[in-house]
């Protein structure tokens, strides 16, 4: 090869490699909402947008740029917990592979503090996918000023998001603290884990859920969400601490402490509630699991010190409405209540709770088996309907354990690591 040909080939390969190589990720310091709006227009995979510490009042941040699975775009506090959004501040994301880390929304006054969507229509292009909200906080410390509008701390749209190691506390206005919105034909597949929820004071009306997944219109949509290793503490907003209104969700290894409400399988089918601990600690209205619909499994949970009744019994199986509308009460069918422990509960298993005048259908093709039920405070089963459709097998009742077994719960710390 001639010398000049070799030099040309080397130069060509160097130019090709430079063009093909990905641009180096950048760390971009940002001090204002206007600066964020300018920076986010240029952000690309791997970039880190670092928000300056301080109070960001009434800041509206919108993210439409996407990262990749290997190189997400990260929006991060300069120091975790020192970037405080106040007033009507809102972070909206309609992109993919975006990580939000270390932000604090304090006393929010808007309809949402964080939403994984920007536009108001139902276009898929307006929602986010494969994003993560981590080490963040949304809290309310000030009394509400009588606002009667509904709000959410976090609205989740799209698919495959993770919300982890966050704290959501103090919500007083109507509306779920965290709500998952579903779309027909799309499995959400979100993971909500290692968060601290609560306290939330009583709302004295519907709409005070801590988590709601779906609604009556999407109750037959398979959401496929996983809610695990969270702490729910004094989440007293209403009778439904968690309102499940979709199909195929799993709730496991969560700890409910002094929560005046229940994990309610209100609409939808085929959900699993397993290895959770419901510890009432003698607080009024504390409940366990309420069951409506088909194919649910309540397995290996620990119920202790609960003082709720009726809807807030340790386990409550509802009566169904014949040909129930979507927002009614579907008959309980093929439910499994197995291997649970009930210790020092005011009301253990209630069968046949009527939630509507037209509700007459008793549970059908259900199994209640291998549960250990302490009956010192009340009977093992409060039956208010026929139980021909239930198989009872190998339940141990009337014997109080010498000590309550160690409850299940989170496998590690919950909430953000930074002090609040």
Over the stretch 309-358, which tens digit does the pLDDT of each residue have?
999 999 999 999 999 999 999 999 999 999 999 999 999 999 999 999 99
- Domain assignment of residue 29, yes or no: no
Provide the β-strand partners of residue 338.
299, 369
- Domain assignment of residue 174, yes or no: yes
Question: How high is the pLDDT of residue 3?
Answer: 45
- Domain assignment of residue 113, yes or no: no
Residue 323 in tokens:
């040909």
Neighbours of 100 (CB within 10 A): 25
The residue behind tokens 């700890």 is: 255
Question: How high is the pLDDT of residue 402?
Answer: 59
> Whole-angstrom Cα distance, residue 316 to residue 65?
46
> Whole-angstrom Cα distance, residue 289 to residue 241?
10
Residue 402 in 3-state DSSP?
Answer: coil
In the chain, how many domains are there? 1
Q: CB within 8 A of 281, min separation 6: which ones? A: 257, 258, 305
CA-wise closest residue to 397 among 415, 364, 370: 370
- Domain assignment of residue 83, yes or no: no
Question: How high is the pLDDT of residue 10?
Answer: 41
Question: How high is the pLDDT of residue 148?
Answer: 66
- Domain assignment of residue 68, yes or no: no
- Domain assignment of residue 53, yes or no: no
Q: Residue 396: CA atoms inside 13 Å, Cβ hemisphere, count?
A: 11
For residue 209, give its domain range: 140-397
Low-confidence ranges of the chain (pLDDT < 70): 1-24, 120-125, 142-148, 400-404
Question: How high is the pLDDT of residue 16?
Answer: 38
- Domain assignment of residue 243, yes or no: yes
Residue 104 in tokens:
């604090």
Q: Are 414 and 165 in contact (CB under 8 A)?
A: yes
CATH number at residue 296: 2.160.20.10
- Domain assignment of residue 33, yes or no: no
Q: To 5 degrees, how large is the angle CA 289–CA 292–CA 297?
A: 60
Residue 150 in tokens:
């509904």
Question: How high is the pLDDT of residue 6?
Answer: 45
Q: CB within 8 A of 393, min separation 6: which ones? A: 367, 368, 369, 370
Q: Are 252 and 230 in contact (CB under 8 A)?
A: no
Over the stretch 133-184, which tens digit does the pLDDT of each residue have?
999 999 998 666 545 688 999 999 999 999 999 999 999 999 999 999 999 9
């Amino acid at each position: 090869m001639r010398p000049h040909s070799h030099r040309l080939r080397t130069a060509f390969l160097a130019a090709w490699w430079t063009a093909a190589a990905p641009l180096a990720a950048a760390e971009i310091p940002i001090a204002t909402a206007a600066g964020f709006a300018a920076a986010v227009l240029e952000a690309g995979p791997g970039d880190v947008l670092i928000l300056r510490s301080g109070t960001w009042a009434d800041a509206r941040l919108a993210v439409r740029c996407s990262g990749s699975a290997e190189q997400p775009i990260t929006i991060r506090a300069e120091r975790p917990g020192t970037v405080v959004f106040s007033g009507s501040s809102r972070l909206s994301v309609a992109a993919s592979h975006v990580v939000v880390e270390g932000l604090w929304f304090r006393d929010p006054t808007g309809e949402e503090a964080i939403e994984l969507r920007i536009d108001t229509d139902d276009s898929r292009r307006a929602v986010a996918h494969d994003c993560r909200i981590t080490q963040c906080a949304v809290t309310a410390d000030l009394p509400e000023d009588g606002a009667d509008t509904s709000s959410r701390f976090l609205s989740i749209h799209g698919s495959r998001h993770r919300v982890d190691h966050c704290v959501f506390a103090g919500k007083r206005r109507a509306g779920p603290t965290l709500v998952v919105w579903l779309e027909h034909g799309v499995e959400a597949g979100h993971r909500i884990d290692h968060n601290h929820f609560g306290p939330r004071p009583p709302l004295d009306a519907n709409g005070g859920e801590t988590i709601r997944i779906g609604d009556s219109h999407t109750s037959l949509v398979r959401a496929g969400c996983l809610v695990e290793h969270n702490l729910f503490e004094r989440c007293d907003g209403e009778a439904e601490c968690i309102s499940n209104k979709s199909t195929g969700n799993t709730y496991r290894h969560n700890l409910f402490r002094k929560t005046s409400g229940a994990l309610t399988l209100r609409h939808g089918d085929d959900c699993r509630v397993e290895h959770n601990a419901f510890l009432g600690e003698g607080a009024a209205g504390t409940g366990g699991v309420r069951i409506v619909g088909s194919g649910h499994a309540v397995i290996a949970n620990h119920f202790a010190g609960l003082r709720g009744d009726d809807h807030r019994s340790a386990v409550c199986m509802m009566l169904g409405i014949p040909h129930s509308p979507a927002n009614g009460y579907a008959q309980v069918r093929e439910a499994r209540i197995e291997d649970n422990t009930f210790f020092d509960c005011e009301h253990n298993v209630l069968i046949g709770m009527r939630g509507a005048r037209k509700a007459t259908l008793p549970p059908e093709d259900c199994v209640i088996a291998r549960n250990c039920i302490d009956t010192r405070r009340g009977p093992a089963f409060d039956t208010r309907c026929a139980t021909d459709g239930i198989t009872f097998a190998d339940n141990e009742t009337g014997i109080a354990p010498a000590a309550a077994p160690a409850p299940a719960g989170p496998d590690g710390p919950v909430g953000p690591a930074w002090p609040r």
